Structure 1
Amino acid sequence: MLVQSADASIPLTTRLPEDLAAIMPTSKMAKTSASTSAPSVSTEAKKGRKKRNLNTITTLPAELISLIMQDLDPKTILNVARTNKFFRNTLVPMKALWVAKLKEIGAPEPPRGVPEHVWLRMLATTNCCSCGKPNVKIDIHILRRLCRECMLSSCSYSTAPSPLSPPPSTLRTEAINYVPTMLRGKFQDQYFLPELEAVEKRLTVLSRAVHDGKPNAQKRLDEFKAQRITLVVDCQLIYPRLSQWISLEEAMKKERAQAAKEARVQLIRQRFYDLGIYNKTDVDTAVQASELKFSKAAKVTDKAWATYRTTFEPAVIEARESRHKGIRDIRTLNICLKWNMWRNETFQGNTSKALRVPSKFPNKRDVLHPLVAELQDVDPELDISPERYNDLATQFPTILHDLEAQRFRRLHASLPQEMRLRCEKEGIEPLDLAVAIFPVELYEGYGISAFIVTRDAHLLWPNFDDLPTFSYPLGVAACSLVSMCGLDPETTLATEMDERGEWFICNRCTYIELVRTSGRRPADNVYIKAFSWRSAIKHICDIREGCSKHDFSFRLLTSIHPLLKDHADECTATAQREVLPTKKVWRCNHCIGVYSLGWDVKQNVTAHLISRHGIANPVDGTDIILDEIMHWFSLFPWRVEVGRPLVVAATGFEEVQD
């Protein structure tokens, strides 16, 4: 049954002897007394304690004992009541004490017929009511704490027995109505078997007494059934209130555990503070409550501190390194801001010189300046005054000169050794030769860096470790282009090639176009791409980067096939200037993929944006994109499409200005 007697609910324990020497063997006592070792700290502390005799507490009045117990928590009162028979007999009848403790923890009132001390014991303790296993939750249906093993062994009865089992007795079927249900399902209801058997046994005794005609037997039977019905109903009514109390209690338990963790974290942090070797910010960042296991200890002992230090010290060191890195990054940012201010003030209005100065301050490996190294290596725990950054700003011209010299040496060292030896013998700077200097236009997003660029472009290169190096195949290609013009590739300068204004065509690209347009149904127009010597190098880079799948081979535009050249000259001589317009081509920036409008004149692209996309006022550069300038001849069967950079068109055509 749910209601148990006081003797059964609060077991007694034997009282330990007061003097340990009375039960120890004589030899042991002699050996202990003969020991000459120094007493421990705990032994000395025990000697200094004042001994108190608690036997006199039994002589106190019950009212005074009740007043003392009111200052204790419920679990402590229950432990005191289990101490001996005197405390049990004194505390159990104190109903007001138990009611006050129930209100103190905010628990609901017990069901009718359940003593307050039994109800408080079930709520305040976490042991299984059968085996005593700790940390067991309350089953709110039968109002008991049962572990999994006891539940499987004590609550296996079902109202739907198997066909092989004997049918239940009539009294067992009737007793089910007077026992709280533990689990309500569609096919079975489980009950606490000891309680069910006790009710069945009581019903058997009372029914037999009624059958024997004993006086008041029927009255006692009716009263017992009424008590059990009241208990079952109260268990059902208390279910929501008890569930709410359990939820609140679990939440408060988590809060208490978190508060205990936070308190312990503060103790551990204080231990790190006392070391004097770590910053408080780093300790607070590394030592967190989420990384700490729950502990009820109010103090951090030396043994526990050794474990905590081994656990958290690597995290504290990592937090310190991360903070120091952030401080160094801030210092680097301050240097970069000073560099940009000096660059803008020094080269304001002089674009050509400003472009030679990197917009980003070189890193420590590029510039081995003492002031830079000193600022980078200052202790992160120390502050740097603005005057030190101003002193560094006065050295920026020297830093820029050293950077140019260093990168020039790096660029010079990337040239082939044979070229450097020959140029040193003839007194020529190899970087001024056409074979070494060809500024290739870099298209944004291609990331081409397998070729050499000019010295100016080298100085503007953002990352010193990814500087482009000299490419011998591109050098051979540049030599071949210079040789086609009848010049010496080892002495010709890039400016001389620009002044000649020669144009080249790719033999492979031209061959493909001619084959495509001279088939069974040849097209009316023949399209040939023409390149300047610089854009020809760019075309070679596209081939080497996989943009084209054929080897490069060039020839001069003037050496084109005689039949095509004569045909072109004839069309040029007969055509009128007004029918040979030179136009810029534009495209829609909102069309992608197969629905793209393609390249067209600006008027048509504007009309397309208004009609197709509903943009009333298209903006240049946002809605309308200007492509590289192409010479578009409507009647001339030979279109020359000039690659980047655009300079002079083919022979007989004027240069197109933006």
Structure 2
Amino acid sequence: MPPRIIKRSKTPMVSAGLEVRNTRSRTRSGLQDSDMLNMPMDIIHEILRHLLPHDLLSLTRTSKAFHAFLMRKSSAYYWKQSLKQVDGPLPRCPKELIEPAWVALVFSPICTACGKREAPHVYWSLFVRLCKTCRPQLVVDQHDLFRERGMDKIPKDIFVMSGRGYCLRSEAQEVIDTWKGLSKSRNKKALEQYVQGQTQHVKKLAKFQESCEGWFGYSSIRESERLEGERFEFVDSKLRSLGWGAELKFLGRGSISRGLLSVMRNYPLMNTHGPMTERRWRAIQGEILECMQEIREERRAYKWESQHPELWAYGVDMDDIALTPEICEIMNRPAKECVHQHSFMALQAQVGAILEGWRSRVCNQLRDLMRSTMRFPQNVDPLELAATTFRCGDCVQTCLFFPNVVAHSCQRVRSSVTQQDTYPQSLQDIMRPFLMRLREYKLSEPACQIVRFCGRDPETTTAKEMDALDIRLATQGSAIMTWRAAIIEQTQSNHDMSVWRIADSTDTANAKKHESKIVQNNASWSCRKCIPPCLHSDLEEYLEYHHGVAEKEDMTPVFSSRDICANSAYKLRLPDFEVVKLIDRDQSCTGTD
């Protein structure tokens, strides 16, 4: 129903037929009641029609003039309008109550009997809130009621009861008197009609109570969420003022909802009722700042990791960084020399060079291993050859590609070798840096067979050149795979080369389509548009939200070093192109860890 049209008038409320006395009290905002009462009626009308029910109820209690005005029958529109603004499935005002009484029952915590004490529990089907003092006087427990003499003859389902099994004494007595009167009159038909009508009335109120309790539960949850949000906003502002903005951004990528909330829910004082106060903040400040310090370290580690996604395949982590010469130089300084946080922060600009130095040293170790048993042309980097694979010295894996071999778990174990310097020696029991534990290098004949089958020379063809061929290999129609997966397959099974074939264009196109889905589902993505580059898991959501585009040209897929996708070693079963895991005869995953 459209709002009732009210003729605009400049007549103040005090002149609209209302008697106003003693209206000099002040509201919380500092305004006197008379200030608002002297406003034109059209302004008051616009204010009232936008108030929420509990605000309207509070206004009726500010002065006699407002109470008289809002309790008029003609003011019912304001109450109905306010109820429409309530969030959630609040039932309509029952016919037993007028709108102001319904609002008071729902939103006022005051006892409806005495009007003085708080009564948090509502007896919805009885339309009352009762405090502990008034409850024994006005309601009776159903067990006490039916314990009385003669009550066993009266049907229980004609009594209106609350969810906790209470009846209003006055209503229960009225039902008892009516039933006894009809029983004595021997009017069986009238008694049956009364019982039937009363039973339907009870069922209707029971359904009404269920709806009210459903809304009350929903409202309580929303209120708890609102207070929780305010508490976390308070903590968020405190942390930002203390210089933790970068950590908060790292946690939630600009929003506290996904990051700070998940961290701070562990603190009991963050989950108590009521708003966060300065006193509560002081009680938890120390613990939260310790937590934020840990997050700061995590952010710094993530920063250098996300800026160098090309090193993911090497499995580089903080254990490797901690043992670089630059860090060891600081840690091995004389005891008299002060070493603090700023000593390490001075290396921040050199992180790229430190990581590159570590990568270069690791690669040289692998090259030395290869050249100790084989000769390679001087203009060829043996690590770049397509036929280069390594065999683990501790497990059954015999087809480890470069650079993923560096991330293999057997190459990252606690060191038992005695170190000359004190600092590395003290960390050998807790850190797992790269320590080469490979078998003597031997040229892989299965790898050479696959490279030759593709029409290339295994002694000079690089992995990049094999990738550029962009072909897929198949085995007698049973599976289709990339050239790296074919090397793993040939290493495991030693097929006769006659079973291999170059896949046709149709199967190759379908295989690429399914491989793209694997990449989409498993990769993190490095964004070139972000400065510094950042890693993201949800590609489309990130591009749309941060850059307003859905193109993927500026995104590079990055895989965990232990992911089979990191090698681009895909094997798909034909004809359904279902992914097949690469497992060797010893039931150990080959190619990755």
TM bin, normalised by shorter chain, reads: 0.3 to 0.5
TM-score normalised over the length of structure 2: 0.40
> Could you say which structure has the larger radius of gyration?
1
| Higher RCO by CA contacts (8 Å cutoff, separation 6 or greater) | 2
TM-score normalised over the length of structure 1: 0.37
